[in-house]
Amino acid sequence: MPDIRPTVSSTALVLNQTYEPLCVVSVRRAAILILSGKAVCVADGDGVLHSARQALPVPLVIRLSRYVRVPYRTHVGLSRRAIFARDGGRCAYCKAAAETIDHVLPRSRGGRHAWENVVAACARCNHTKGDRTPAELGWRLHVTPVAPKGMAWRGLGHRTPDPRWADWLDLPRAA
Ligand SMILES: [Zn+2]
């Protein structure tokens, strides 16, 4: 059993054998997968873990030794954090820092609360827009709102990804 010392990163990204992001696990769980031969470390984090017999660099990203089949379609919860992550934390109308969620077609006019009709927005644009559509205001969207695809979202939709995972994730980079 590895003796886990407090480290900067407490979680590791798990990639499938095909390098497709699968999920996020604790560093402890990642170390156990490596020590049991079920995964290999792809990128080291900061620090070293010590078990009774060996020292192991803190895993930052690991890759499973065997392919894990996952269901094709995964539902991603429509959370505020997931919407901000999809839109890079920027207002869809003016690219300022987003603070709110806006329904492109307002709910008062039948707009659905769905991935295709929600965008991150700054408070000013959201307030100015009110119950009008972007077309009525002559506004253009800087993003096309779609449901996020890909396994990266399976385990990350509700948490902030470690920026050091960016090379393995197809996520918008927040400025
Ligand atoms: Zn704005």
Q: In terms of residues, how long is the chain?
A: 175
CA 118 to centroid of ligand 1, rounded, Å: 14
CA 90 to centroid of ligand 1, rounded, Å: 8
CA 150 to centroid of ligand 1, rounded, Å: 28
> What is the distance between the terminal CA atoms of the chain, rounded to a whole angstrom?
39
CA 58 to centroid of ligand 1, rounded, Å: 40
> Over the range 138-165, which residues count as b (16 or more CB within 10 Å of their CB) and which as e?
ebeeebebeebeebbbbbbbeeebbeeb
pLDDT in tens, 90-147: 999 999 999 999 999 999 999 999 889 999 999 999 999 999 999 999 999 988 898 8
Among the residues of 26-104, which ranges form H helices? 27-35, 80-86
pLDDT in tens, 64-73: 999 887 655 4
CA angle (159 as vertex; 140, 42 as ends), nearest 5 = 110
- Encoding tokens for residue 167? 């090379």
CA 100 to centroid of ligand 1, rounded, Å: 10
Q: Answer yes or no: are the C-beta atoms of 7 and 39 closer than 8 Å.
A: no
CA 152 to centroid of ligand 1, rounded, Å: 27
Give this prediction's pTM: 0.50
CA 81 to centroid of ligand 1, rounded, Å: 17
